[in-house]
Amino acid sequence: MTQPGTLYGVGVGPGDPELLTVKAARLIGEADVVAYYSARHGRSIARSIVAGLLRDDHRHEPLVYPVTTEETDDPAGYEGVIRQFYDDSAERLAGHLTAGRSVVVLCAGDPMFYGSYMYLHERLAHRFPAEVVPGVTSVSAASAVLGRPLVERDEVLTVLPGTLPAEELARRLADTDAAAVLKLGRTFDAVHTALDDAGRLPETWYVERATSPRARYAPLAQVSADEVPYFSLALLPSPTSAAARDDRPVPAPVAQGEVVVVGLGPAGPRWLTPETSRALREAEHLVGYGPYVDRVPVRPGQQRHTSGNQVETDRAAQALELALTGARVAVVSSGDPGVFAMAAAVYEVATAHPRFADVPVRVLPGLTAAQAAASRIGAPLGHDFAVLSLSDRLKPWPVIEARLAAAAAADLVLALYNPASAARRWQVGAARDVLLQHRDPKTPVVVARDVGRASEAITVTTLAELDPATVDMRCLLLVGSSTTQVSTRGDDSIVVWTPRTYPG
């Protein structure tokens, strides 16, 4: 019986033939069959890269895509058409392999990095001997052409396809240090929008056909969509490298600076909005409570000003003073800055002192602790609700007590912030007693601790059984109304929810 041939998926690099590995060149020279992908015009970038290595007696297998966009009139749709194409291509190559011929499939860049070879590998590697030979990727080539490092030290590189929705691209671009966005072409406008929304457009480079004779690169903001081919990418290099070279993109100058009060959400970057990420990235100064500032990634050249937990007006004044010098200042809050946080403190100081009258102040929302806690247990805020703070540091307890009684009498679900601290231990019990004057003792209560963090704990109890000793400053309380229900799901999980309708 004839010994089957071997299938080789060979990466030929981004365009320069001299970037072929020695192994790739040897295998191409020794192969019986050379296969390569092309559009209907018949031209193949991968084949053109290795043209100098092809023999006259090589058997050629051009694999011509039936469609090159996701638009088709075929009843099977794009996915069906392209799946059948890979099936048919695999069987064509299987005929050669069965006959004992070695087959090299050429792949621009690297075969396993957004390469079409991988679809043949999935169909043939379990039937015939197969080997993958890596190649230089377009991302590495673009970095080399620009002479800018991709990432340094602990930085994170994110590789994204430009075919993702613009909002998803913006979110991911805002959350990373460096990035490469591939598959531009028709996606260029959406990628441009995403980079702008993420605040990363000034830092981004456009690279086309890296290392080939037709290579071109420029700041992406200067590139027109009508001149962008598919084989191009957007590259966001290492911010550390840019800082070291002193060629970081500089945000547009402002006459007087500004203060942006931002919400970091309860915990973790996954609850950070792209708009907030952009503001944090563009700020020259960060001002805030130490543990909150520590949650923001360190950026080269950015100054950080931290302080304790009960000096909000001092922080606000410091931020406004920095803005007077022309600086961009971000004041950070946990959760939403407008809910028991720094936004009110900044406006309080800004309106009290005439010298700050012309300092621009913006507030960027964040996910509140009440929303985060509610999502963890179901939908307790499904109907009307009130938000109260139990801290009597800035308002007298009789005021808190009166508002608790009024909200309870109105049968509103309650979200109680700042329920207790090391110095305030009696307020939770006192609040429970006020609520019990208006609510059934069996009213559901959710005790949410450290929502979004590794130590997160959600406890469901009742108003009568609420133990003040279990509550501290890391908790938020959700107290149900008369219609709030507790249900057990099929997986034995407990959910708390308040119907959208109200009787009467």
3-state secondary structure 7-24: EEEEECECCCHHHCCHHH
**pTM beyond cutoff 0.75:** no
Model confidence pLDDT, tens digit, residues 447-502: 999 998 889 999 999 999 999 999 988 899 999 999 999 999 999 999 999 999 99
* Residue 173 Cα distances to 159, 164, 193, angstroms: 10, 12, 11
Beta-carbon contacts of residue 454 (< 8 Å; ≥ 6 apart): none
Question: pLDDT value at position 167?
Answer: 87
Average pLDDT, the chain: 91
CB-CB contact of 166 with 43 (8 Å)? no
**Residue listed under structure tokens 């996954």:** 270
258-364: which CATH architecture?
3-Layer(aba) Sandwich (3.40)
The predicted model gives 349-372 an average pLDDT of 93
Q: Give, for 338, the enclosing helix (H) or strand (E).
A: none
Residue 250's pLDDT is what?
45
Q: Averaging pLDDT over each range in 66-80, 228-242, 245-259, which range is the top one?
A: 228-242
Q: Is the pLDDT of residue 249 over 60?
A: no
Paired strand residues for 439: none
Task: Give me the pLDDT at residue 231, please.
Answer: 84
Give dist(CA 427, CA 469) in Å, integer.
11
> Which tens digit of pLDDT belongs to each residue from 364-391?
999 999 999 999 999 999 999 999 999 9
For residue 242, what pLDDT band results from cuts at 50, 70 and 90?
Answer: low
Neighbouring-strand partners of residue 161: 182
* Whether residue 1 has pLDDT greater than 80: no
Q: What's residue 256's pLDDT? A: 67
pLDDT (tens digit per residue) in 192-225: 999 998 888 998 999 999 998 888 999 999 999 8
The one-letter code for the residue type at 230 is: Y
Q: Say what the pLDDT of residue 330 is.
A: 96
In the DSSP assignment, the letter for residue 265 is: B
Q: How far apart are CA 468 and CA 59, in angstroms?
A: 81
Reported confidence tier of residue 253, pLDDT bands at 50, 70, 90: very low
Whether residue 143 is predicted with pLDDT greater than 90 in this model: the reply is yes
Integer Cα distance of 37 and 482 in angstroms: 66
pLDDT of residue 365: 93
pLDDT of residue 68: 67
Residue 155: per-residue pLDDT: 87
> Per the CATH hierarchy, to which homologous superfamily does domain 139-245 belong?
Tetrapyrrole methylase, C-terminal domain (3.30.950.10)
pLDDT at 255 over 60: no
Which pLDDT value is given to residue 251? 46
Strand partners, 211: none
- pLDDT for 400 equals 96
Query: According to CATH, what is the number of the domain 370-497?
Result: 3.30.950.10
Answer yes or no: same fold for 7-136 and 370-497.
no
Within 10 A of 234 (CB to CB), how many other CB atoms are there?
A: 29
pLDDT band at 234 (very low <50, low <70, confident <90, very high): very high
- Provide the residue ranges of all domains of the chain, joining segments of one domain with +: 7-136, 139-245, 258-364, 370-497
Taking the CA atoms of 133, 138, 140 and 146 in sequence, report the sign of the dihedral they define: positive
Query: What pLDDT was estimated at residue 57?
Result: 92
Q: What is the pLDDT of residues 331-350, one digit of tens each?
A: 999 999 999 999 999 999 99
Architecture of domain 7-136 in this structure: 3-Layer(aba) Sandwich (3.40)
Q: pLDDT (tens digit, 9 = 90+) per residue, 301-325?
A: 899 999 987 889 999 999 999 999 9
The residue assigned the tokens 């009307």 is 384
Q: Letter for the amino acid at 416?
A: L
328-333 β-sheet, strand order: 303-307, 285-289, 328-333, 258-263, 361-364
